[in-house]
Amino acid sequence: MNLLSDPRVDEALSHLADYLGSHLRVSIAALALGLVVSFPLALAARNSPSLRNLLLGLASVVQTVPGLALLALFYPLLLALAALSLRWFGLSFSAFGFLPAVLALALYSMLPVLRNTITGLNGVDASLIEAAKGVGMTERQALTMVELPLALPVIMAGIRTAAVWVIGTATLSTPIGQTSLGNYIFAGLQTQNWVLVVFGCVAAAVLALAVDQLLALIENGLRRRSRARIGIGTATIALMVGASLLPSLAGSSARYVIGAKTFTEQYVLAALLGERLQAAGLSATSRAGLGSSVIYEALKNGDIDAYVDYSGTLWANQAHHTEQLPRAALLDALKQDLARDKVTLLGELGFENAYALVMPRKTAETLGIRSIADLARHTREMSIAGDYEFFSRPEWAALRDAYGLAFRAQRQMQPDFMYAAVASGEVDVIAGYTSDGLIAKYDLVVLDDPRHAIPPYDAILLLAPKRSGDRALQDALRPLLGRIDIATMQQANLRASGSDAESSPQAVARWLWSRISK
């Protein structure tokens, strides 16, 4: 197969300017902020062992927090700050995307810069510092003319490490709404499009190497007092940043932003929503790969304009209800909860993407299992797998208590790998999603829930507060309501999990529209 003629590469390339530009912007901003903060701190700490230990200790603690968690933590933190700032100063800012990403990544960049600057300065021969003072340098002159030039290789090594870390970790800023090369990786993982995953990784690696080499050139120039080298290095980085600003200036004209969570169905539905808006002459762009809790807050704050969520998810996670209601009652109650946030529930799409216990049809038939009540008799010898959040969700507790489930082992998995795992017998049961196309593909069976322990999960279309009176938007999306049944959505999801040109979210969205618009 010729990789360059692969349509998935074309698709990936079409986003490159946007993703690469955003990635570079957020990385450079974070690195610059990290340097501006770390450098004076390192200088202040060089003569104070207690400050030095404190700073290096804190920076090390930050480093032990996984990048994804650090990025995720900054979102609620900024959200709270934004609310305070609005109340006290009347100023509001977006806690979504760029700002939390820059702050978290800047924090991440601090350890190598702090450690290497302090180590580099401490490593300068004391007799040379004494000589610097002896020949008549002030403290400041001794620092700039002797200590910093001698510590430069170590300091620059720290800055280069920080640059590579930040550029690598910036791929994880996708779930908090910052477009980056991580969009390729997250989308590729979800839709099992490995070309996209590899493309994203390679692009991030190439960018990291390029910036590292440019910094090496500047370092070399500083050491040899070569203005040419310093100039070329600095100018190229400035040019890259300048170029990265262009697509955002051009791209900022899109009026509507469609959100999508981190799984296949969401990518397809976001593409469908975007397609409908474009068909109605409205410009739309998407923010895909957002975390489940980030996406609702982003809608509430107007950072995104529309997305598809599921009634049961909002009921438990956003409205914090624990009681179970029948489908219609739950939707009515939820509508009121959402109205309190001024979020519009435009309507249901027609299918449900509920959690369900799923197992291979053959095993179920052999054991005579049709419902979760039947399953309960066998769970002691069985293992179960669920996605990263399932076992901490109230549905799992409700299921377990309602049927007295006690599995031998439980595992967490990337959702798209669960189905293959249960089909191959690696686990016995999975907590899958009813709309997932892989259920049919692997010949799995969804077990009945006779005690209604799992709440309804109707797919519902939500609009941001500022879009509550937007006729054009609502008219463009209304034709989707009530038109997508579970079988159609399963087929669409199955198509999207393929790995050919027809499996891109856009292509599946077009297929889906052609099916439901008949």
Partner 1 sequence: MLGLTPRPPALKGRMPRTSLISYDRVRKTFPGPVVAVDDVSLAIAEGEFLAIVGGSGSGKTTLLRLTNRLIALDGGTIRIGGEDIAGLEPVALRRRIGTVFQNGALFPHMTVAANIGITPRLLGTPANEIAVRVDELLDLVQLDRKAYRDRLPDALSGGQRQRVGVARALAARPRIVLMDEPFGALDPLTRDALGRDYRALHDTLALTTLMITHDITEALLLADRIAVMRGGRLIAIGTPAELAASREPYVAELMTTPRRQAARLAALLPESGAA
Q: Of residues 32-61, which lie at the interface with partner 1 (CB under 8 A)? A: none
CB of 127 to partner 1, least distance (A): 5
Stretch that binds partner 1, among 19-27, 126-134, 327-335, 377-385 (CB under 8 A): 126-134
- DSSP-derived 3-state class of residue 321: coil
Q: Of residues 394-423, which lie at the interface with partner 1 (CB under 8 A)? A: none
- DSSP-derived 3-state class of residue 369: coil
- Contact between 138 and partner 1 by CB under 8 A: the answer reads yes
Q: Which helix (H) or strand (E) holds 333?
A: helix 327-340
Taking CB under 8 A as the criterion, the residue among 130, 332, 475, 500 binding partner 1 is 130
Which structure tokens are listed for 256?
């509507």
- Contact between 131 and partner 1 by CB under 8 A: the answer reads yes
Q: Of residues 143-162, which lie at the interface with partner 1 (CB under 8 A)? A: 145-146, 149-150
Residue burial 61-87, b: 16+ Cβ < 10 Å; e: rest: eebeeebbebbbebbeebbeebeeeee
CB of 151 to partner 1, least distance (A): 10
Give which of 236, 197, 239 is closest to 215, Cα–Cα. Answer: 236
With contacts defined by CB under 8 A, how many residues of the chain interact with partner 1? 17
Name which of 133 and 510 has its Cβ closer to partner 1: 133
CB of 222 to partner 1, least distance (A): 10
Stretch that binds partner 1, among 13-21, 123-131, 212-220, 235-243 (CB under 8 A): 123-131
Name which of 127 and 253 has its Cβ closer to partner 1: 127
Q: How far is CA 191 from CA 42, 311, 360, 483, in A?
A: 45, 23, 22, 23
Q: Of residues 221-240, which lie at the interface with partner 1 (CB under 8 A)? A: 223
Q: Of residues 473-492, which lie at the interface with partner 1 (CB under 8 A)? A: none
Name which of 132 and 290 has its Cβ closer to partner 1: 132
Which structure tokens are listed for 323?
């009681």
Stretch that binds partner 1, among 137-145, 197-205, 242-250, 441-449 (CB under 8 A): 137-145
Stretch that binds partner 1, among 52-60, 127-135, 283-291, 466-474 (CB under 8 A): 127-135
- Contact between 133 and partner 1 by CB under 8 A: the answer reads yes
CB of 138 to partner 1, least distance (A): 5
Name which of 150 and 157 has its Cβ closer to partner 1: 150
Angle between the 194-224 and 182-190 helix axes, to the nearest 10 degrees? 160
Name which of 124 and 473 has its Cβ closer to partner 1: 124
Which structure tokens are listed for 138?
């002030």
Q: How far is CA 437 from CA 292, 358, 423, 501, in A?
A: 21, 13, 14, 18
Give which of 419, 440, 418, 421 is closest to 492, Cα–Cα. Answer: 440
CB of 130 to partner 1, least distance (A): 7
End-to-end CA distance of the chain: 36
Q: CA angle at residue 423 from 418 to 425, to 5 degrees?
A: 95
Residue 447 in contact with residue 357, Cβ under 8 Å? yes
Name which of 226 and 474 has its Cβ closer to partner 1: 226
Name which of 127 and 252 has its Cβ closer to partner 1: 127
CB of 135 to partner 1, least distance (A): 5
Taking CB under 8 A as the criterion, the residue among 49, 90, 136, 281 binding partner 1 is 136
Taking CB under 8 A as the criterion, the residue among 128, 198, 241, 254 binding partner 1 is 128
Name which of 30 and 146 has its Cβ closer to partner 1: 146
- DSSP-derived 3-state class of residue 458: strand
- Contact between 220 and partner 1 by CB under 8 A: the answer reads no
CB of 153 to partner 1, least distance (A): 10
Name which of 150 and 373 has its Cβ closer to partner 1: 150
Name which of 76 and 149 has its Cβ closer to partner 1: 149
Q: Of residues 336-375, which lie at the interface with partner 1 (CB under 8 A)? A: none
Q: Facing residues of 386 across strands?
A: 412
* Rounded Cα–Cα distance for residues 402 and 69 (Å): 33
* Rounded Cα–Cα distance for residues 152 and 160 (Å): 12
What count of other Cβ atoms lies within 10 Å of the Cβ of residue 451?
A: 15
Contacts of 309 (CB under 8 A, 6+ apart): 295, 296, 459, 460, 462
* Rounded Cα–Cα distance for residues 45 and 51 (Å): 5
Q: Which residues are at the interface with partner 1 (CB under 8 A)?
A: 127-128, 130-138, 141, 145-146, 149-150, 223
